[in-house]
Amino acid sequence: MSFLNGGLLWLTAAATIPIIIHLLHRSRFIKIRWAATNFLKKAIKKTRKKIRLENLILLLLRILIVTLLALAVAKPVLQHSLIGAAFSVPTSYYVIVDNSLSMNYKYGTQTLLEKAKTISSELLAKINMKSEDRLTVITFNKYPKTYPDFIRKEGAKELIQNIQPTEFEGDALATFTELSQSLKKSTHTMRKIYLITDLQVSNWKSADIDSKALGGLLKDLSHDQKNSFSILDVGENRENCSITSLTPLDNYILKGSRSLFTATVFNFSKNRPASKEISFYVNSSKVTSQNIVIEPLKANTATFDYTFTQSGYASMHCSLDNDFLSLDDNRYLSVKIHENIKMLVINGEPAPGWNDEASFLKEVLTSEDEISIFSLSVSTPIEFNESDLHKYDMVFILNTNHIPTKKVLAISEYIENGGSVFISVGSNCNADTYNKFFGQILPGEMSENIDCKDDCFISTVSDQMGLLSDRKIDLTNISFKKIQGIKPQKGAKNLLEVVYNGNKLPLLVLQEKGLGKIVLYTTTIDDEWSRFCFNPLYALFIYNTIEVLMSKPFTTLTHQLGDTVKIVLPRELFDQEYIVNFKNTKYHVSPISNSPSNQYIYLFFPEEPPDSKEKDRSINYGLSNSGFYSVAKKSSPVQNILQFSVNLPPRIPEFDLMLYSESNLEKIEDMKQLFPEFRFHQEGKEEGTHAQPIQATILWKPLLYAVFVLMVLEFLFASYLDKKKSL
């Protein structure tokens, strides 16, 4: 026997009250000698025993009434008993069905989710629901959903059969938090919770789950006498391999050039090596395949090459064959194929011949070997059109003394949206003017330039530039006449430094801003302040700087499940509505707002997320399906203007052993070790950490009936005794 309100058992101490009252109100006699006393003593002896017995019965009735009333308030539960079966308890049933990523695992002809649905039907058939009972269904995944208050089992069964698998991993903390909220709404005194799951380790222990918070929640829920937990394990011990990444090895992809891509495959099985065939597709057409062997709990890579014959957007994906979990057997990648690298050169000091910085740059970038790679457009700070910035992959700002504020704002937004900017200084550069007008695009605060008089040499080269680490190149003999002073802001990186009078000065400063990058070269790109431009290594320096600027993650084209996609389109592609296509489904999206410079249009898909303060972690505001998505204007739906891909989130092998343990028993033992305070019963097993049966009887109703009967008896008996005394 147990008590739902065990904390109220102290009320049974009230049973002493009738005893105290009885002792305080016993009859008191005054001794008076009287001649007829002897005759009365003989009469009292005959009735004394009878009076004591009657008073004792009355006292016991009152003690019993108080005791049973206190026990009724504590609500005792008698388990596995037929006593009191007539007093059935209103019960809330909760069936939690795991539909997370691992439940897509297919064993034979049936997935684990299909197996879970079969088991849930068998479970529902065993539950004998009364008219006052209620049944709630909750899905177990990163974003659980609750379907409450089914009166009939048939409705819940139909719902469970229609539950679809998700591509999200499970989250026990999110699911049991959802359960906790539902339990608070229940007015029933008994709650039976059944969890049908494969006991995936990453659903209970991962970098995203607060194990301490989860353990405390499980303890609170399972130690509540109103709740009982049963776990139905549907997991199977089979191997699993997953493609965890597909990335290009080049910072930019050019039409007609050979491009390399690498795919990483991880073996999540503990048991044996896996031999897999991985296939590579471009625009849905299979290009090639490779066979690779992956050791247990290890990764292996496959590299593919491809030459694109057309510019624009391209879709690629890799696929594994003959695996038990198909959802993680694919990886998607969207890329933009460039005709060439388009560059806008804003020349602050136009001049004929070699006195023009743009001429130096053009000479370097349009040599005979590289003439087809770069396409340069030269303009002035006043003449360049800020509306065309989105057409360029890079912008060079050379020795410019002033750019209109409106155009600086457009350049800043261009960088935020993924653009690359190279800034070099010179005689036109004034520190105060730059800080005032260019401050939002500079990687630091400028100070006065330093006249080094050819006594300033390169000291440090960052490995990111690859000038010293990859090649045996000595740059320490290159001197500079002048260096622009700058104090890099927080987050900026000094890729190159020079030494003057024992002090290190930044020469090449990198700053990441939004999705783009800025590089500041603190001297001139021509020979005005530097002799570097005449060095054979100068072209390599420029090429490597371009590589650094172009090495941006493909975050604008490749996303993860749960992400909200911010789509940035140039103003010239404006439409009242856009269509996002995914497989055979079309989503209609309206533009949210214009950019500050009014040069871009912003869209959010699937929807604009709420502020972080208003965001509910149990709700998925982002993407729910992996694959390829395309965007088109509603006015011309056939022509795609953008394409992006969506993948499963990265998985951490430490927490994501797909098939956990060698046997079901080990999985239960793992659960005990992870959450020793979690009391549950493993359905179908004789042993559990805290077995709690399906049927139980609460005795508070029959106790209240008994109290009522005893109170009536006590009243009648007390009335009888009072009447007897008055005679």
| Span 431-461, pLDDT tens digits | 888 888 888 899 999 988 888 775 666 665 5
Assess contact for 710 and 260: CB atoms under 8 A.
Answer: no
What is the C-alpha to C-alpha distance for residues 415 and 603, in angstroms, rounded to an integer? 18
Q: Do 481 and 390 belong to one domain? A: yes
Structure tokens at 316: 């690629």
Is the pLDDT at 466 greater than 60? The verdict is: no
Q: Please, are residues 480 and 523 in contact by the beta-carbon 8 Å criterion? A: yes
Tokens of 202: 């990453």
Residue % of the chain over a pLDDT of 70 = 81
> Is-contact 238 268, C-beta < 8 A?
no
Q: Which two tokens stand for residue 207?
A: 């970098």
Q: Report pLDDT for 629.
A: 96
Residues facing residue 578 across a β-bridge: 589, 633
Average pLDDT over the chain, rounded to an integer: 82
Residue 460's alpha-carbon distances to 238, 516, 542, 547, 726, in angstroms, are 53, 25, 17, 19, 116
Q: Does residue 214 lie in a domain region?
A: yes
Whole-number pLDDT of residue 222 = 92
The structure tokens 């105060």 sit at 432
561 located within any domain: yes
705, pLDDT greater than 80: no
Which residue would you say has higher pLDDT here, 78 or 352? 352
State the CATH number of the domain containing residue 309: 2.60.40.10
pLDDT (0 to 100) of residue 213:
93
pLDDT at 177 over 70: yes
**Looking at the structure, do residues 84 and 49 belong to the same domain, yes or no?**
no
Q: What is the pLDDT of residue 220?
A: 94
pLDDT one-digit tens code per residue, 23-50: 766 655 556 665 556 666 666 666 667 7
pLDDT bracket for residue 300 (50, 70, 90):
very high
Query: What's the residue count for the chain?
Result: 727
In the chain, the number of structural domains is: 5
Report the C-alpha dihedral over residues 294, 299, 300, 301, rounded to 10 degrees: 150
User: Binning pLDDT at 50, 70 and 90, where does residue 637 land?
Assistant: confident
Q: In what order do the strands lie in the sheet with 330-338?
A: 253-254, 330-338, 312-320, 274-282, 285-294
Q: Say if residue 114 is in the same domain as residue 8.
A: no
Please tell me the predicted confidence (pLDDT) of residue 660.
Answer: 41
Predicted pLDDT of residue 75 = 65
- Per-residue pLDDT, averaged over 51-78, amounts to 75
Instruction: Tell me which of 81-90, 245-254, 529-538 is least confident.
Output: 81-90
Round to whole Å and give the CA distance between 252 and 374. 12
d(CA 601, CA 591): 7
- Could you list the beta-strand ranges (E) of 475-599: 479-488, 493-500, 503-513, 516-521, 558-560, 565-570, 578-582, 585-589, 593-594
> Are the C-beta atoms of 457 and 505 separated by less than 8 Å?
no
The CATH number covering residue 129 comes to 3.40.50.410
Residue 307 or 543, more confident: 307
Higher pLDDT, 537 or 568: 568
**Sheet architecture: strand order including 696-698:** 2-3, 76-79, 696-698
Q: Token pair of 462, please?
A: 């960052």
Distance of CA 419 to the CA centre of its chain: 29
How distant, in Å, are the alpha carbons of 91, 130, 214 from that of 218? 20, 28, 6
Determine phi and psi for 388, rounding to 5 degrees: -100, 5
The SS3 assignment for 650 reads coil
Q: Which helix (H) or strand (E) holds 378?
A: strand 374-379
Listed residue (261, 283, 330, 335) closest to 561, CA to CA:
330
Structure tokens at 353: 């011949």
Partners of residue 479 on adjacent β-strands? 457
Helix (H, G, I), strand (E, B) or coil at 157: helix
- Report the alpha-carbon distance of residue 458 to residue 500 in Å, rounded: 9
Q: How far is CA 17 from the centre of its chain?
A: 59
Last residue of a domain, one of 321, 338, 355: 338
Q: Residue 124 has which token pair?
A: 């529902």
Q: What is the pLDDT of residues 89-118, one digit of tens each?
A: 788 999 999 999 889 888 778 899 999 999
Verify that 420 and 547 share a domain, yes or no: yes
464 or 244, greater pLDDT: 244
In a domain, 688, yes or no: yes
CATH number for the domain that contains residue 441: 3.40.50.880
At 622, give phi and psi (nearest 5°): -110, -155
Is 652 among the domain residues?
no
Look up the domain containing 387 and give its range. Answer: 341-552
**Helix/strand/coil (H/E/C) assignment for every residue in 160-189:** HHCCCCCCCCCCHHHHHHHHHHHHHHCCCC
The answer to whether 386 and 406 have CB atoms below 8 angstroms apart is yes
Predicted confidence at residue 218, as pLDDT, reads 94
Residue 252 and residue 338 in contact, taking contact as beta carbons nearer than 8 Å = yes
Q: Which of 54-58, 96-100, 501-505, 666-670 has the highest mean pLDDT?
A: 96-100
Position 687 in a domain: yes
Q: How far apart are CA 156 and CA 634, in angstroms?
A: 41
657, β-bridge pairs: none
Residues 289 and 407 in one domain: no
pLDDT at 613: 65
Q: Is 315 inside a domain boundary?
A: yes
**pLDDT value at 465 more than 60:** no
Q: Are residues 421 and 283 in the same domain?
A: no
Q: Which two tokens stand for residue 595?
A: 């950019």
Of the candidates 500, 458, 503, 449, which has an alpha carbon nearest to the alpha carbon of residue 479?
A: 458
Q: Do 713 and 694 belong to one domain?
A: no
- Regarding whether 535 and 465 lie in a shared domain, the answer is yes
pLDDT at 74 over 80: no
- Rounded to whole angstroms, the Cα distance separating 602 from 89 reads 57
Cis peptide before 606 (omega within 30 of 0): yes
Which range among 246-255, 470-479, 682-691 shows the weakest confidence by mean pLDDT?
A: 682-691
| Phi, psi angle pair for 685, to nearest 5° | -115, 150
Lowest mean pLDDT among 319-328, 366-375, 455-464: 455-464
Please give the single-letter amino acid code of residue 285.
S
Note whether 623 and 645 are within 8 A (CB).
no
State whether 595 and 661 are in the same domain. no
Vertex 143: Cα angle to 140 and 148 (nearest 5): 65
State mean pLDDT over 123-141: 92
Whether residue 123 contacts residue 194, with contact meaning beta carbons closer than 8 Å, is answered with: yes
**pLDDT at 13 exceeding the cut of 80:** no
Question: Are 93 and 136 a contacting pair, CB within 8 Å?
Answer: yes
114, amino acid identity = E
Would you call 533 helix, strand, or coil by DSSP? helix
Token duo for residue 725: 């005394």
**CB neighbour list of residue 154: distance below 8 Å, 6 or more residues apart:** none
Is 223 found in the same domain as 94?
yes
| Whether residue 577 sits in one domain with residue 440 | no
The verdict on residue 163 lying in a domain is yes
Of 552, 578, 608, the residue at which a domain comes to its end is 552
211-223 vs 172-185: helix axis angle to the nearest 10? 30
Quick one: pLDDT at residue 502? Answer: 77
Q: How far apart are the first and last CA of the chain?
A: 48
Same domain, 193 and 281: no
CB contact set of 478 (below 8 Å; sequence gap of 6+): 457, 458, 531, 532, 535, 537
pLDDT in tens, 268-290: 877 788 899 999 999 999 999 99
| Band of pLDDT at residue 663, cut at 50, 70 and 90 | very low
